[in-house]
Structure 1
Amino acid sequence: MAITPHDGAGTVFSFGGSNFTVTNIVYNLTDPATDNKIDVSHLGLTAGNTVETMDRPLKGSATDTGREIVIEYLGKNIVEDASSATLVITHAGVQLLSKSSTVMSSSLTFATNDAVKGTATFKVAR
């Protein structure tokens, strides 16, 4: 059987003194300042005109880092929401990330004939 060279097996994360076996990670990187303008172009513009914009009336949170990690893991331990600590992600013994983070949300899923799984969403420091 062929071995997938980019398999994420063996990935773990630790947070607040607990270790978890990872099943999936999604790391979102955005620049919170890029969306401060909105497009107000209209059909009355002719071809070749510059896009018309205006300042967004509602600004994003000043504490938004633009860095979010969603981790799915195995186990019955829930990651406490609103807690802050250093999030460390390692794969095959190699540290991939070590950043100050805050839990934005967390949940556990209990299903018949399946492992207990958790999901945690972290806001990660820049």
Structure 2
Amino acid sequence: MSYSTPHDSSGTSFSFGGTTYTVTQITYNLNDVAAGDTIDVSHLGLTTGAQVATMDRPLKGSATDTGREVTIEYLGNTVINDATTGTLAITGGISLSKSATVSSSSVTLAVNDVIRGSATFRVAR
């Protein structure tokens, strides 16, 4: 007997630039580039019980960086051109339809496997 589950991602696909792709994996990161995070700069010279040493992050996100990034693994031999902007539409396990820009794309060929592509998109807010 087969049961539908809320975490089932079968049938997920994405389209970009007028082409639809079959998805094998999606990673969606939401990072606040304006966060006031600090980094831990503690070292082995500190004594037991000393306060944790921290400093502000030395690198900040740019004003145009949304902090939202989607990496999609897909079946096929299409390399999506870097810096291309268009509508990224994901349907199936998750739904998303936003303007996005390709930040990287690659294709992997391996023995005893199908040709697989990977693309990372910067997504607009």
TM-score of the pair, normalised by structure 2: 0.80
Check whether the contact 1:36–1:55 (CA below 8 A) recurs between aligned residues.
Answer: yes
Check whether the contact 1:101–1:125 (CA below 8 A) recurs between aligned residues.
Answer: yes
Aligned to 1:80: 81
Aligned Cα RMSD in Å?
2.6
Aligned to 1:112: 111
Check whether the contact 1:71–1:119 (CA below 8 A) recurs between aligned residues.
Answer: yes
Shift of 1:8: 1.2
Shift of 1:79: 1.2
2:102 pairs with 1:103: yes
In structure 1, runs of 5+ residues without a counterpart are none
1: CA distance between counterparts of 2:3 and 2:34?
Answer: 42
| 4+ runs deviating over 2 angstroms | 1-4, 35-44, 51-60
In structure 2, runs of 5+ residues without a counterpart are none
Q: List per-residue Cα deviations over 1:38-70 (Å, max 9, x = no partner).
A: 5678958x77x7x77655554322221010000
Moved more, 69-78 or 57-66: 57-66
Check whether the contact 1:67–1:124 (CA below 8 A) recurs between aligned residues.
Answer: yes
Aligned to 1:11: 12
TM-score of the pair, normalised by structure 1: 0.79
2: CA distance between counterparts of 1:18 and 1:83?
Answer: 13
